[in-house]
């Protein structure tokens, strides 16, 4: 028992002598709990919605108002054609689209059944799609009952009245709600992020612990050359894995790249560069491999899995959590992979995700160079 107690005291002493690691061990779990606790929400509120109203009548406007009044749907776009409406879904700007036919008002007034068309963004998480379907069905049922009551009061009879409104729902991109079609384009960014970040996060700190950093410092190599030299081998490895993951996704799971394959490849290289830059920055800031791993896992990897939109929608996140997720390259790359692979979105519509991805990649690489200079 005395020998065991000696080892315990020795280990506590080592932890106590490293206040930086101790602070990380004590602070990061609590910070992460608060960040993720507020960031994860199972509520589907303010679902972005687009409407094309060919009827332009009081009845059609009241019909749309019933959906927005519930707080479940957010009427964001009023478009003039079905093509414009579908383009909004392609660009992932809305999750639900409603098409009201031209004869909506007339058929409601004449006690005929009118059919309205709903489109659902099938690139969303399958359980969220089911929730949206249930909400649409519930609200449509309530509206139909209210219209039916008005028709009965107006005509004084109910035997000849048909169901006033019939909602037709079409799920785009993933009509069978297959989990593979949703998860594979999301897992590829996470897997590439984990590999690139972990490998590069240990690059500089490993040299320091092995005592070879001094040899690198006295060489005439510049800081950016050292950072680039440390990153390129991992860039090649990660790029090779990216091709393997795309091939396995197609061969094993039937997830084809619906859009531009080489456009996806080019943007993947940019994402890998950003992830490597983030990892090298962590490696420069950390004093030991344990610190580097701890920062990489708690500051980047866990938030990347939870807050990037892989499993939970980012629409209902608090502002602080949402802004934190915007600082992660994987958040924007995930939008790109799902857009190109699942929806077949053209590159011109992906600039809201491409520009932040390019910017973050540059910022993290430059920051890694500056952080290394400070250590010289």
Indicate if 193 and 142 belong to the same structural domain: no
Show which of 172, 190, 224 is a domain's final residue.
172
Indicate if 168 and 93 belong to the same structural domain: yes
What CA–CA distance (Å, rounded) separates 311 from 219?
46
Indicate if 289 and 206 belong to the same structural domain: yes
Tell me, yes or no, whether 8 lies in a domain. Answer: no
Contact assessment for residue 341 and residue 92, using Cβ atoms and an 8 Å cutoff: no
Tell me, yes or no, whether 210 lies in a domain. Answer: yes
Give the pLDDT score at 11.
56
Indicate if 216 and 110 belong to the same structural domain: no
What CA–CA distance (Å, rounded) separates 257 from 265?
11
Give the pLDDT score at 86.
87
Indicate if 366 and 225 belong to the same structural domain: yes
Give the pLDDT score at 374.
44
CB neighbour list of residue 242: distance below 8 Å, 6 or more residues apart: 188, 192, 265, 268, 272
Indicate if 365 and 224 belong to the same structural domain: yes
- DSSP letters along 90-159, please? HTTS-SEEEEE-TTHHHHHHTT--EEEEEEEETTS-HHHHHHHHHHHHHHHHHHHHHHHHHHHHHHS--T
Tell me, yes or no, whether 4 lies in a domain. Answer: no
Left if phi > 0, otherwise alpha if psi is -120 to 50, otherwise beta: which for 58? alpha
The CATH number covering residue 115 comes to 3.40.1710.10
Indicate if 276 and 338 belong to the same structural domain: yes
Indicate if 99 and 162 belong to the same structural domain: yes
Q: How many CB atoms lie within 10 A of CB 78?
A: 12
| Per-position pLDDT tens, the chain of length 376 | 665 566 566 556 655 666 666 665 666 666 656 666 665 665 667 788 889 888 888 888 888 888 887 778 888 888 888 888 888 888 888 888 889 888 888 887 777 788 888 998 888 777 788 888 888 888 888 887 777 777 677 666 555 556 677 888 888 888 777 778 888 888 899 999 988 888 888 777 777 776 666 666 666 777 777 777 778 888 888 889 999 999 998 888 888 898 899 999 999 999 999 998 898 888 888 877 888 888 888 888 888 888 888 877 777 778 888 888 899 999 999 999 999 998 888 888 899 999 999 999 999 988 888 887 544 4
Give the pLDDT score at 35.
60
| Domain region containing 368 | 178-375
What CA–CA distance (Å, rounded) separates 361 from 363?
6
Indicate if 360 and 227 belong to the same structural domain: yes
Structurally, the chain folds into a number of domains equal to 2
Place of tokens 């009061």: 153
Give the pLDDT score at 254.
85
Show which of 172, 203, 223 is a domain's final residue.
172
The CB-based long-range contact list for 101-107 (8 Å cut-off, 24+ gap) reads 101/54, 101/55, 102/54, 102/55, 103/55, 104/54, 104/55, 104/57, 104/59, 104/60, 104/63, 105/55, 105/57, 105/58, 105/59, 105/60
Indicate if 52 and 198 belong to the same structural domain: no
Distance of CA 197 to the CA centre of its chain: 18
Contact assessment for residue 318 and residue 310, using Cβ atoms and an 8 Å cutoff: no
Tokens of residue 46, six digits = 């303010």
Indicate if 198 and 328 belong to the same structural domain: yes
Q: Which helix (H) or strand (E) holds 72?
A: none
Show which of 156, 172, 188 is a domain's final residue.
172
């Amino acid at each position: 028992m005395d020998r065991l107690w000696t080892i315990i005291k020795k280990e506590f002493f080592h932890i106590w002598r490293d206040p930086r690691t101790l602070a990380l061990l004590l602070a990061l779990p609590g910070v992460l709990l608060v960040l993720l606790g507020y960031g994860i929400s199972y509520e589907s509120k303010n679902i972005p919605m687009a409407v094309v109203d060919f009827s332009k009548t009081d009845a059609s406007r009241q019909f749309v108002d019933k959906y927005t009044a519930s707080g479940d749907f957010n009427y964001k776009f009023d478009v003039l054609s079905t093509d414009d409406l579908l383009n909004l879904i392609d660009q992932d700007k809305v999750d639900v689209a409603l098409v009201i036919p031209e004869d909506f008002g007339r058929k409601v007034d004449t006690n005929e059944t009118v059919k309205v068309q709903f489109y659902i963004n099938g690139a969303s998480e399958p359980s969220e799609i089911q929730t949206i379907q249930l909400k649409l069905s519930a609200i449509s049922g309530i509206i139909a009952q209210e219209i039916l009551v008005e028709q009965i009061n107006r005509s004084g009879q109910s035997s000849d009245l048909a169901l006033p409104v019939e909602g037709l729902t079409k799920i785009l991109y993933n009509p069978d709600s297959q989990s593979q079609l949703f998860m594979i384009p999301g897992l590829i960014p996470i897997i590439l992020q984990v590999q690139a970040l972990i490998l590069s996060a240990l690059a500089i700190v490993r040299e320091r612990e092995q005592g070879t950093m001094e040899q690198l410092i006295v060489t005439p190599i510049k800081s950016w050359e050292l950072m680039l030299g440390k990153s390129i081998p991992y860039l090649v490895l990660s790029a090779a894995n990216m091709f393997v993951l795309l091939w396995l996704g197609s061969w094993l799971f039937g997830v084809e790249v619906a859009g531009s394959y080489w456009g996806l490849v080019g943007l993947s290289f940019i994402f890998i560069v950003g992830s490597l830059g983030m990892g090298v920055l962590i490696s420069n800031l950390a004093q030991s491999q344990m610190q580097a791993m701890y920062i990489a896992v708690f500051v980047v990897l866990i938030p990347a899995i939870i807050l990037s939109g892989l499993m939970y929608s980012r629409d209902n996140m608090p502002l602080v959590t949402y802004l934190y997720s915007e600082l992660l390259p994987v958040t924007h790359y995930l939008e790109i992979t799902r857009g190109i692979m699942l929806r077949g979105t053209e590159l011109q519509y992906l600039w809201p995700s491409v520009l932040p991805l390019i910017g973050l990649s540059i910022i993290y690489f430059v920051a890694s160079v500056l952080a290394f200079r400070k250590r010289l």
